Amino acid sequence: MNPHPTLTILEQSKVMPPPATIGCKSLPLTFSDMLWLTIPEPVHILFFYELSISKTHFTQTIVPNLKQSLSTTLQHFFPYVGKLNIFRTCGRLPEIRYVDGDSVDVTIAECNLDFSDLTGNHPRKCDKFYHLIPLLGRVAKVSDHATIPVFAVQVTLFPNSGVSIGMTYLHSLGDARTTFNFRKAWASIAQSGSDESFLAQGTLPVFERLLNYHKLDESLSKIAKAEIFDKVYKLRKLSGPTDKVRATFILTRTVINGLKKLVTTQLPTLAYISSFTVTCAYTWSCLAKLHNEELAMFLFAVDCRTRIDPPIPAAYFGNCITPCVNLERTTVLKDKEGFLTAARLIGDNLNKKLADVKDELVRDRIGSITSLVPEVGPTTKMTGVAGTPKLRFYDFDLGFGKPVKHETISIDYNGSISISASRESNEDLEIGVCLSANEMNDFVGYFNYGLESMVIVIEVKSLLPVVIMRLSTPPAFTTPSASTTMKPSTPLVDVARELRGLATKEFICVDKCVDCLKGKQHKLSHLAKEINSITTVLHLLHMDLFGPTSVKSLDRKSYCLVVTDDFSRYTWVFFLSNKDEIAEILKSFILKVENESDHHVKIIRSDQGIEFKNHTLNSFCESKGITRQFSAPRTPQQSGVAERRNRTLIKAARTMLSDFKLPITFWAEAVNTACYVKNRILDKAYRVYIKDSSIMEESANVQFNEHTINKPGIGPDWLFDLDKFTSAFNLVKEYVLELQTTTLDSIKCTREEDFRVDLPIASRQILVESTSTHQVVSQSETTNTSQLEVVLPNLEPSNLDLSSQLDVILGTRIHNIHRTDNIIGSVEDGIEPMKVAEALKDSSWVEAMQEELLIKAIRIFRAFAAARNFKAFQMDVKSAFLYDKIDEEVYVCQPPGFEDPKFPNHVWIFINQSKYVKDILERFNFTDCKSIGTPMHKTTSLGPDLEGEDVDQNPYRAMIGSLMYLTSSRPDIMLATCLCARFQANPKSSHMLAVKRIFRYLKGAPRLGLWYPRNANFQFMAYTDSDYRGCNIKAEYITATSCCAQVLWIQNQIKDYGVELSNTPIEIDNSNAISITHNQVKHSKNKHIDIRYHFIRDCVEKKLIHLVKVDTYYNLDDLFTKAFDEGRFRYLIAAVGMINYE
């Protein structure tokens, strides 16, 4: 982001309607229009469009089209180009008058602000947006009247990023419906190039004054004149610097329906419950927690057009709204039922306003401003609403796509909020909020935590409406004077956990609604062509453009044009500085390639970008007889060949730049090299096992028979016997406990008979060569089973070449990479043992190899012992087995400091390391730090941070080592600790800050630990999820396979306790991965998954496990793969069985 934002004015012009199209016209204001004259705050709105265009294209194409379409639109909406006139004399009402020569000020500018930052939903500084909105002209006062400009436009370019269109207008000009009709007409004219389509729709504005209430008009006219002439009337404007930030919150249809369901359940007599009602109520209740005023006022406008008898046309020009005022004490809204209170108040007032809207307008009121809107005192906090969810603001398409972001900047004046339909779905709602930085931080916490708490209530109550009566209200909040905190009054997670054992309802739909099925239908996937209809080169060319790149190439290029021949898949790449160069490049390229190949280009296929769809290329193709094919908007599947080629080249270029440690400025050379290599090698190759020759071959001429199911059992029976395979997992029983002596000949014979495999010839040769040099034991030698010698190939990197010799001691590698105090055993003794027999002789290696399995086995035993009420005895293993039996009785008692006075003889299995936490906090000087609620911020994304400040490795590694030891009983810090452990080789200041945050979290939760309750319902289930950086089907499937391996190991461990576990559920939140597991056919979608990961299919078929679809919210594995806010984080640690023992 540029630290010094600048705005460069490129042009200041005046746009007028076409000559002799309007004449002199005037439009008198009604009382509903004059009400806004007392508020000297214009309306500011902004639309952002994502366009990667150059400055030349912007000034020569975009700007002229916008001016031309605006001029045509003003011809039909003359008040926008006129001026507001207010007369001194009595009897003359204010009016908007247009005379020949009036114009609209249009400013063309260029800005260097970060476009992606401005179009985000996160909190952004408000004063960044003030550069992008135009200012209205000054108020001019003459002898008998005053004139005020009413409308202005500013178009701002963000080079190679996008364009913003800002509009400023007086609210007296019209309400939201009027301005929406104006923008709709402008968009229609801009897209078609004329007003014919707009006129055909029959949506011309209605200028007839249909609201005739003379007493109200006279009353408000007097007040407006007093404001203009008796005072120094000046329009307000927004300027920086300011500490305010603005953010956008999105409520999806699912959340809105949940809120409506909660209100319906708790307030069954409420007459009016809508999406707008619950959205306003929830936002108002959250805002009330930020302020300490005595009263809170919530104000919004109601459209009266269709609610007056007779109704007023929707195209009526002007204001036709009435305010709806809601007033309540702030302490009531802060209460635990604040949301329901706000919903009841807004719903009742809105229902009354809609029923009495005619009386509200017809009733003549003298001094009607105070009667319509009560006076706001110093002890009242007023919050207004701008916008409406009924109007689709994101449909403002001026010919270059829908806007990516819509902002109402004028809410910065008085702390109002904006509500509109979302860009992605008209059923989702966007809420724009402007607050100070500190208030925004607190508001985000209130908003997110309240939603998560109420969603839990709604979902649990929908299943068990009778049992959970104490969860009927959202959590209460307390707001101390010193700081703002949130404390839920009811432990929702604990109560929900207690009810998990109850039976849930099953909802079965017998009759299917045809209308619902039609509404949920989606477009079919694009099927691949079975037979290629292209038979010659250059018959069809696919082309696509990628860019602009964040870093320019050595030749100052920012774009790359990729052209691919459909028949041969031969590819050409061209590098450009701007998109405007494409036309000339394609013209010369087509002429050259046709001359070299003696073939003619017949079809060109591309997307509908303006770089391909322009007059120059159209004329050239018409002259050459070339057919143009364009993909449908927002359907990249129709350009699959070009998209895949782009992706292939980009990945190859990224790999080369990383391998050769080159700067990013070489990206064009890397792409060019990748294209050169791709054109000269086989596009696809497969490694295939040939049964006849027993060798592996690599070939591109492979055809897959996807219509035949793979049949198990082809080969030795033991190769497919999964039961026998899993029974071999118990290595401890076979090699440690049985101390029988046998000869090495019999052992080798047995192992050869059980594990004989017909290997390919190449593999046999490698195996013989790698094992022949390690045969150090004669066949007649006798050995112990516990010292069984298993020959393993040497996999050191320096020994990949079989002809190379291995040094006895690799001292350089050991001393340079590893610290001496971290090495097991003595350095002089040589490298790590290469055989199991050698490792079993060294007690240090035995302890190191069994440490991880021991921790897992102990956890399983503890959980099972607590569930089945076993008597567990803890003893010294050396005393028990080395020095005969112990004569004394050994008892387990409650540890010091954890005695339970109510049950002194009971022993609960609760594992925590509070003393160790205290020790490491003291060791690293965190005893006096400020605690924090989560070990990692939900937006944290750790990376190498090559440009960051270096920190000392020794304290960083010491802190990581201490935390890694703590993870055995603290799974809540597992994710954060493992992420930070990746950067021990070169830690930066950002990594150290992340580690310090973990210690701050431990400061606030030192006694958190794992709880194994007695007599609990022992159930074995597993959860699986991909890593925290996102996932795809392949990643989810591979992760599920790894989870399956862990499940099989645990099942084998539980067998020692006499329990047979089968068909263990593995809960996963990806239905596609489940489908691949049940599909036994080799499909093109999963051909890139290594075959070793498909053993999960056999486990499912043998009913060892089964995959279950679980909602993402209830996937407990999220605790180890993602970072969350405090509310979601505490739900997960409670769900996995962690409690805070006080």
Nearest by Cα to 228 from 468, 497, 34, 6: 34
Query: What is the distance between the alpha carbons of residues 558 and 575, in angstroms, rounded to a whole number?
Result: 7
Amino acid (one-letter) located at 308: I
Instruction: Fill in the DSSP letter of residue 464.
Output: -
Cβ count within 10 A of residue 951: 17
Cβ count within 10 A of residue 550: 9
Phi, psi dihedral angles at 250 (to 5 degrees): -115, 125
Note if 171 is an active site residue. Answer: yes
Degrees to nearest 5, angle at CA 474 with 471 and 476: 110
Strands 295-303 and 321-329: antiparallel
Task: Report residue 924 as tokens.
Answer: 């690293």
Q: Coil, strand, or helix at residue 29?
A: coil
Report whether 573 contacts 547 (CB < 8 A).
no
Helices marked H in 869-907: 877-882
Q: Coil, strand, or helix at residue 280?
A: helix
Count Cβ atoms within 10 A of the Cβ of residue 803 and give its class: 0-12 exposed, 13-18 middle, 19 or more buried. Answer: exposed
| Kind and range of the H or E run holding 347 | helix 338-355
| DSSP codes of every residue in 62-94 | IHHHHHHHHHHHHHH-GGGTSEEEEESSTT---
Phi, psi dihedral angles at 1015 (to 5 degrees): 60, 25
Which residue in the list 114, 335, 348, 397 is annotated as catalytic?
397
CA distances from 347 to 353, 403, 819 (A): 10, 32, 69
CA distances from 20 to 13, 23, 857 (A): 20, 6, 90
Query: What is the distance between the alpha carbons of residues 162 and 52, in angstroms, rounded to a whole number?
Result: 6
Three state DSSP letters for 725-784: HHHCCCHHHHHHHCCCEEEHHHHHHHHHHHCCCCCCHHHHHHHHHHHHCCCCCCCCCEEE
Nearest by Cα to 496 from 518, 519, 523, 467: 467
Query: What is the distance between the alpha carbons of residues 469 and 626, in angstroms, rounded to a whole number?
Result: 72
Instruction: Fill in the DSSP letter of residue 531.
Output: S
Q: What is the CA radius of gyration of the chain?
A: 37
Helices marked H in 899-952: 914-923
Amino acid (one-letter) located at 20: A
Peptide bond into 241 cis (omega under 30): yes
Which residue in the list 171, 406, 542, 991 is annotated as catalytic?
171
Note if 397 is an active site residue. Answer: yes
Per-residue burial over 1081-1104, b if 16 or more Cβ lie within 10 Å, else e, is: eeeeebeeeeeebbebbebbeeeb
Beta-bridge partner residues of 27: 96
Beta-bridge partner residues of 988: 950
Torsion on CA atoms 377, 378, 381, 384, rounded to nearest 10: 50
Report whether 1001 contacts 1130 (CB < 8 A).
no
Q: 501 CB contacts (<8 Å, ≥6 apart)?
A: 1017
CA distances from 843 to 824, 837, 838, 840, 849 (A): 10, 12, 10, 7, 10
> Within 13 Å of residue 232, how many CA atoms lie on the same side as its CB?
1
Helices marked H in 807-887: 811-817, 836-841, 843-868, 877-882
Report, as residue numbers or ranges, the catalytic residues: 171, 397
